Amino acid sequence: MSQPAGVAALRRIRWHVLIAAIGGLLIAGIGSTILVAERQYRELPVVLAAKQLAIATLLGHEIEQAVAVGIPLDKLRGLDDLYKEARRDNPEIGYIAFTDAAGRVVATQGRSIPPTVELLALERTPPGSAPRLGDAGGFSTVAVPVAAASGGAAIGDIFVGIDPDHIRRLIKDRLFDVVTVLVVTAICAVELVLLLLDYGITGPLRSLESWGAEVLAGELRPPRRAFGFRELHDLLRATARAAAPPGSGDGAKSRVPGGGVVPWQLMVRFIRVGLFLFVLGDTMSSSFLPIFARDLATPFWGLTRDFLLSLPVVVYWLISAIAQLFGPPLMERYSHRALFVAGVGFSAAGMAGAALAGDFPTLLAARGLAGLGLGLAFMTCQAAILTHVPKELRTLGIATFTGTFFLATFCGTALGGIAAQQLGFRGALVLSAAVVLICGAFVIGTLGGSRERPMQKVAAAAAGAPAGNSYLRLARNGSFASLLLFCAVPNRMFNVAFLLYLAPLYLFSLGDTKAEIGRVVSLYGIAMAILAPALAAQVDRRKLQRASVVVGSLICALGALAVLLDREHGILIAVATMGIGQAMSVPSQMSLIPALSGRQIANMGLPRVMSVFRVGERLPAFLGPMVAASLAGAFGFERAIAAFGAWVAASAVILALVLRASRAKQESPAE
């Protein structure tokens, strides 16, 4: 379909502005990253050397004090514990050693201790001097002499070496954080620039363009007063009034079917930004919530600790699914704005409640509120996008929704990990509540022009209420039920169990920092955000939905088995393959529904069939963390993840057989 010249020009303008803005931002960002990296490499060793010297001096003082109260050097006890404590508090220290005046090693503690000859050859740092570093066994080491009393005879030397691996990891972590912030900033900037462009330029110009088209079609009436370019609007209104036949006035307004002040493209932009902000705030706690819950969990009702830890995720998902059960009646009664704002309110209250929670039941209640908020906001956004996007562009609408959801999930998870590292868990939760509230303010300000109500009434009148046994007939549809039971449910349960429970706790048990956990878990979101729209387009074009759901599930399942082979990288592979696999299978599930349940759609309407599928998929998801907790408690994290993978794989094989049989049935001439 060829586009009007105006639309093409607008698109060009948008691209130019976007490229200029993002290009500038990225250049500045990359420049700052390089500066930060350079500074890290330059300054970190200096800071660490000063710290090394301080630790060595303090440890030396402990020995001096012991000797001063009459403890002979050869009778000193507890040096091992002292050094162990110092290393625990300062993980960058690779080893600590103490040698006596004769050069004999008295006590050591560390990963690997350099040979004594290398230690003794090091230059000593005199008291009050800058640290003099030397290399011993690959460790950057400071050597400090210990004297009997101030100015007394030398007792020996303390050696403190910095672990080079730890330093590399520290710098890598910081760089990752900077890059993550850079990427998230770029994504947020794109959203903001597009919003401003659509609000300030594209939207008003589209209004004028459609007015121009009406004028060309012979309908000479003043353009609707909108926003932006007010002077131009006023001028055109005045011109139109002057040129219009007497008595025509502004009455032409009512002749525009479904005419609204805000063009649908801009309305979709508003919904997209609202959804982005909401999901950003909501997912900020994803990476650390199980760890936060662990701090608060105290046994009650005889429940096991593993089971307790799964409850915050369980409650959140269960309530978000239940909230969606009430979607259709709520949608008929309340506006999108009202429902979205209600979702924001519940979500913000949930985040703030979790931040203030002093005990586990309060945390559970707070997560329940957040789940209710997510359920309301999720279904409202989906419905709002489908309402505003023209029918022929609904695939684009679903892609917009999915893309935005996962883009925001990536940003939220990554930022949440960094926020938890910097502000603590409670601080990060307060921040997420603030982001959700900003979303609420945005939604109140922008969704007022939504035109969903008249459209819904038209749709409701056309569809009519479904017959009582329609749901039963849908449940008896073997292909629909198989898609739900052997693809949607296992994938969703595994997704919730893995990303919100197993992966964070497993990575934490391996010693990963909160930011590292956030980064790994956020890989899923970025894979979904990038791949889902691209793969969906290919799948639609080649009509490969059936193959896509099966192959996607299998990729997801095989990745999960990687944790059995490699502890370090297995989890990374599992998260990435889940992102790739579900980017293939999730959008295809939605596309398959009309093909698999044509009769029921004719009877009940597509929205209700979709709603049954969505709720049927999400409702059992709450069991995911509970099953995960039980499996992890009994068999360990790796086997629990692999067990989920095996289940998803087996389900995919069954689904493949069912879909093959259903296609054969469809193609059979007897049918």
Partner 1 sequence: MTPFSRRDFHRIAAGGAAGLALAAAAGRTGAARPPFRVFMIQWRGDTDADRGMMDYLRRAGVEVEFTARDAAQDKAKLAAIVAEAKQARPDLIYAYATEAVLGVVGPVGGDAGRFVTDIPVVFAAVGDPVASNIVPSLDHGGRNLTGVIHLPPIPVQFEALNSFFAPKRLGLLYNSAESYGVGAVRQFQDIAGKADIEIAVETCVDAKGEPQEELIPPALERIAARRPDALYLPSTSFFLPLARPITAKALDLGMPVFSPNEQMMRQGSALAGLVASLNAVGEFAGYKIEQILVRGVAAKDIPIEYLSRFSLLVNMRVARRVQVYPPVTMLRYAELVDAS
Strand 105-110, strand 133-136: pairing? unpaired
3-state secondary structure of 247: coil
Tokens standing for residue 473: 């007939």
Tokens standing for residue 24: 């500038």
Q: In what order do the strands lie in the sheet with 139-147?
A: 105-110, 93-100, 154-162, 139-147, 133-136
Segment interacting with partner 1, rule: CB under 8 A, options 72-80, 243-251, 622-630, 637-645:
72-80
Nearer residue to partner 1 within complex by CB, 67 or 122: 67
Nearer residue to partner 1 within complex by CB, 70 or 247: 70
Cβ atoms 168, 159 nearer than 8 A: no
The sign of the dihedral angle between the CA atoms of 496, 584, 343, 181 is: positive
76 near partner 1 (CB under 8 A): yes
Cβ atoms 478, 658 nearer than 8 A: yes
Segment interacting with partner 1, rule: CB under 8 A, options 6-14, 67-75, 137-145, 451-459:
67-75
Nearer residue to partner 1 within complex by CB, 84 or 166: 84
Binding residues for partner 1, rule CB under 8 A, total 15
Task: Of 656, 652, 643, give the one whose Cα is nearest residue 560.
Answer: 643
63 near partner 1 (CB under 8 A): yes
Three-class SS of 144-171 = EEEECCCCCCEEEEEEEEECHHHHHHHH
152 near partner 1 (CB under 8 A): no
96 near partner 1 (CB under 8 A): no
Nearer residue to partner 1 within complex by CB, 106 or 182: 106
279 CB-contact burial (10 Å; exposed 0-12 / middle 13-18 / buried 19+): buried
Distance of alpha carbon 671 from its chain centroid, rounded? 46
71 near partner 1 (CB under 8 A): yes
Task: Of 486, 496, 665, give the one whose Cα is nearest residue 589.
Answer: 486
- Which of 38, 85, 332, 359 touches partner 1 (CB under 8 A)? 85
- Which of 62, 100, 118, 540 touches partner 1 (CB under 8 A)? 62
Segment interacting with partner 1, rule: CB under 8 A, options 71-79, 225-233, 243-251, 539-547:
71-79
- CA-angle at 153, arms to 151 and 159, nearest 5°: 95
- Which of 4, 23, 24, 78 touches partner 1 (CB under 8 A)? 78
Nearer residue to partner 1 within complex by CB, 67 or 640: 67
Element (H, E) at 97: strand 93-100
CB of 72 to partner 1, least distance (A): 8
CB of 285 to partner 1, least distance (A): 37
- Which of 75, 88, 333, 391 touches partner 1 (CB under 8 A)? 75
- DSSP lists the bridge partners of residue 109 as 96
Nearer residue to partner 1 within complex by CB, 72 or 247: 72
168 near partner 1 (CB under 8 A): no
CB of 143 to partner 1, least distance (A): 20
CB of 119 to partner 1, least distance (A): 20
CB of 375 to partner 1, least distance (A): 47
Task: Of 444, 442, 417, give the one whose Cα is nearest residue 431.
Answer: 417
Residues of this chain that interact with partner 1 (CB under 8 A) are 62-63, 65-66, 69-71, 75-79, 81-82, 85
